[in-house]
Structure 1
């Protein structure tokens, strides 16, 4: 088993994300791998041949070397922070490692984490329009890979996990993909807003008893709790009440061809500044 954590250079809540990844890895007694993705300096030179203002800049070996040195410095800082957090969280050194890859995050992350038990990324990556944001979108919507968008808590508690259940294929995939998180929890809550479920379908896929049965075969138990009002608000309130560190949910959205946007519930959860981590699948 392996958990991968994105090492994102820039203004991200990386320390909080790595703290979450460490605690999850410890609960699962598994390996934690930090991965960075940066473009090939030679290709970066070609891309900077002309600036957006039409000003020509040097595209020789000197520039390439400068880019390489900057990347090496960034890698060193990322690796230092990774080791700092792992040490503070008591992660065994033989269960941690760092991999630096050449390429865009949207290409590297899906390939490296193809068989990962969990991929953890900082909260801001779900909304920024840079390479890390594009990687988040690509993994969820194009590759259909699960992603954990970390919350901003500096001291995340992972004892309680909430499953947002509406019987959708996306919610079902989220539960299956994040079985490891469920196995690591001491309390599982299946949350459902009955107002949003057609009463005629309550005995169908929307029935939370389906999840109860699925979990029981894994040796896990859960309780069902309903809530009213807006779905995102209800889930966040439930998470606050029970001090839940993770919400497992389906990520709803359109393809990028249709002008990518997440559905209302997903978007509200992703934008919540004080919410828990979101374990998502599309």
Structure 2
């Protein structure tokens, strides 16, 4: 299929998202699509039925349309800048009339990878609703850009044998295979607590990955999981962290933290390949 970079109409952010998407497209030997989804201006304006308000509604719709035209222009300009050195990678810019939630979920269904800017994980940011919808409601895989430009390296897999971790590995298998090397990180206390769970042992995942052409090794971690994963990624020059997201409810994660929230809030982190 293709790697899809979600664009929001802000120059710096869209350029970086495009460059991250381009690096992934090269890794996966596929094409890159820059997707800017904006709703129908008429649907973005409250419909007022009183005759005297008709003109105001029409003016508001025109204002929204003008704003969208400017956002679309910025998104396309940033995408073109981001793929300026995309030799060998087919790149296409697409404008879709839809909400970011609808467009992102549709794109994630069959894309090789769906890339969101790191800011999308923060409430109130332009693509935050799209990020939340794909992750929490559609339960489809996505990738958040790293805090620094892409560099080749291994993939860190946060492994606790949970359904979320298993989905993250399966749904991001092509990314793991493209990296060629995986480091399986597991907190020993998790292993002791859930030792009876089938498949939790790292060597089980090592064997599964080896059968799919991935060189894997285990790296026991201790203490707080998110901090340990980030430290391991920094020390090994990892390309990405692959992990299950939101083992607890979204509200619980937002109120009390949790591994996912700490990874999302980290000031320095590689790309995050997540699935719930």
Normalised to the residue count of structure 1, the TM-score between the two structures is 0.87
1:40 correspondence with 2:46: no
The alignment status of 1:278 with 2:272, answered yes or no, reads: yes
> Are the equivalent residues in 2 in contact too, given 1:163–1:188 (CA < 8 A)?
yes
Structure 1, 37-46 or 231-240: larger mean CA deviation: 37-46
Moved more, 264-273 or 188-197: 188-197
* Counterpart in the other structure of 2:116: 121
| Deviates most, 61-70 or 34-43 | 61-70
Give the Å deviation of 1:259.
Answer: 8.9
Residue 140 (structure 1) aligned to one of 135, 143, 158: 135
Equivalent of 1:88 in 85, 89, 96: 85
**Number of equivalent positions:** 273
Aligned: 1:239 with 2:233:
yes
Equivalence for 2:92: 97
Residue by residue over 1:160-216, the C-alpha shift from the partner in whole angstroms, topping out at 9 and shown as x without a partner, is 111110000000000000011111113211111112322671673210122112212
Partner SS for 2:96: strand
Provide structure 2 residue ranges, at least 5 long, that are not aligned to the other structure.
none
Which residue of the partner structure matches residue 157 of structure 2? 163
Contact 2:159 2:186 (8 Å CA) reproduced: yes
Aligned to 1:66: 63
1:160 and 1:76, CA in 2 relative to 1: closer, same or farther beyond 3 A?
same
Match of 1:214 in 2: 208
Partner residue, 2:104: 109
Q: Which residue of 2 aligns with 1:77?
A: 74
Aligned counterparts of 1:262 and 1:90: Cα–Cα separation in 2: 45
Q: Using the alignment, how far apart are the partners of 2:46 and 2:91 within structure 1?
A: 35
Q: Deviations over 1:136-182 (max 9, x none)?
A: 111111111001111121x2113211111000000000000001111
Aligned CA RMSD, in angstroms, stands at 2.6
Shift of 1:64: 2.5
Query: Which aligned runs of 4 or more in structure 1 are off by greater than 4 angstroms?
Result: 253-263
Task: From the superposition, tell whether residues 89 and 202 of structure 1 become closer, same or farther in structure 2 (CA, over 3 Å).
Answer: farther
Which consecutive unaligned segments of at least 5 residues does structure 1 have? 50-55
| Secondary structure, aligned partner of 1:113 | helix
Q: Distance in 2 between matches of 1:47 and 1:253?
A: 40
Alpha-carbon separation, structure 2, partners of 1:26 and 1:149: 17
* Structure 1 residue matching 2:199: 3-state secondary structure: coil
CA distance, structure 2, for counterparts of residue 255 and residue 12 of structure 1: 32
Deviation at 1:247, TM superposition (A): 0.1
3-state DSSP of counterpart to 1:201 = coil
**Are the aligned partners of 2:39 and 2:98 in contact in 1 as well (CA < 8 Å)?**
yes
The CA distance in 2 between the partners of 1:276 and 1:138, in whole Å, is 22
Contact 2:157 2:184 in 1 (8 A): yes
Inter-partner Cα distance in structure 2 for 1:81 and 1:103: 20
